[in-house]
Amino acid sequence: MKPIIGVTAQTQDNLYDYKLQPVYISAILQEGGIPVVLPIVPPEEVGEVLDLVDGIVMTGGWDIDPDYYGEEPHPGTGRLNFEMDEFDSTVVKQVIARDMPFFGTCRGMQMLNVVTGGTLYQSVLDQLDNPVKHKQEHGRKFPVHHVEITGGKLLKPLFENGRTRVNSSHNQGAKTVGEGVTIAAKAPDGLIEAIELEDKRFILGTQWHPENFAVNGHGPSREIFSSFIHAALDYREEHR
């Protein structure tokens, strides 16, 4: 029996199409999960959708409406997608309540951070002092800056020397975290690059994209997906 992994997709404001990078699907299949792509549904239907899956991968995408953490929009905030914010935030709330395994990358991590009471830099380049390059111009299968693993239970065992080099393709970034949220990694400029909810079985967000490394055989990135999928299998055995 393999766990079913719901993968979020983005709607495109001008095209009315969904967009999803296939690399997420490949990384899940590679470690023994069955991916299913989730459309955006109204908040009242999210519970029934989550009944169909054993874990959630929340993917990258648009910036998050700063009203979610009580700020007016900085000019550096990018394009917003209100339906996606509503859907993704509802998914995160319900996943936490169910203790369903969750892995968020980039926007997915930012949404986990905002829902759990954290705030964001709306534009890392404009608002963080002396930032490293967080919006790389080369392909995501190559890294750009280092991160130091600072805490938590999920990443520490995978990176023995406590440090790794990651890809980076984001405008916004976590500024503060909510209560009970562990900062799991930081960039050399101090930016929060990973967070965990340690009292849950597997709730992790990374600001970088391990899926692009995992499909190229990078061991620790594969292990992020494989430990997530094992947690989803445990969840499935308990709930079905």
Interaction site with Mn ion (CB under 5 A)? 134, 168
User: For Mn ion, which is the closer residue by CB, 3 or 131?
Assistant: 131
Please list the active-site residues. Answer: 106, 209, 211
Residue 192's CB is within 10 A of a number of other CB atoms, namely: 26
Shortest distance, position 207 Cβ to Mn ion, whole Å = 5
Q: How far apart are CA 54 and CA 102, in angstroms?
A: 9
Q: What is the DSSP string of 152-189?
A: -SSSGGG-TTSEEEE--B-S-EEEE--TTPEEEEE-TT
Residue 72 DSSP code? P
Shortest distance, position 168 Cβ to Mn ion, whole Å = 3
Q: Is 168 in contact with 207 (CB distance < 8 Å)?
A: yes
Shortest distance, position 151 Cβ to Mn ion, whole Å = 18
User: For Mn ion, which is the closer residue by CB, 23 or 231?
Assistant: 23
User: For Mn ion, which is the closer residue by CB, 40 or 166?
Assistant: 166
Shortest distance, position 223 Cβ to Mn ion, whole Å = 20
Taking Cα atoms as reference points, which of 6, 220, 232, 237 lies closest to residue 100? 232
Q: How far apart are CA 94 and CA 153, in angstroms?
A: 22
User: For Mn ion, which is the closer residue by CB, 123 or 168?
Assistant: 168
| Sign of the alpha-carbon torsion through 53, 235, 155, 26 | negative
Residue 6, classed as helix, strand or coil, is strand
User: For Mn ion, which is the closer residue by CB, 134 or 236?
Assistant: 134
Shortest distance, position 188 Cβ to Mn ion, whole Å = 10
Cα 172 off chain centre by:
13
Q: Is 195 in contact with 205 (CB distance < 8 Å)?
A: yes
Residue 118's CB is within 10 A of a number of other CB atoms, namely: 20
* Residue 82: exposure state from Cβ atoms within 10 A (0-12, 13-18, ≥19): exposed
The closest residue (CB) to Mn ion is 168
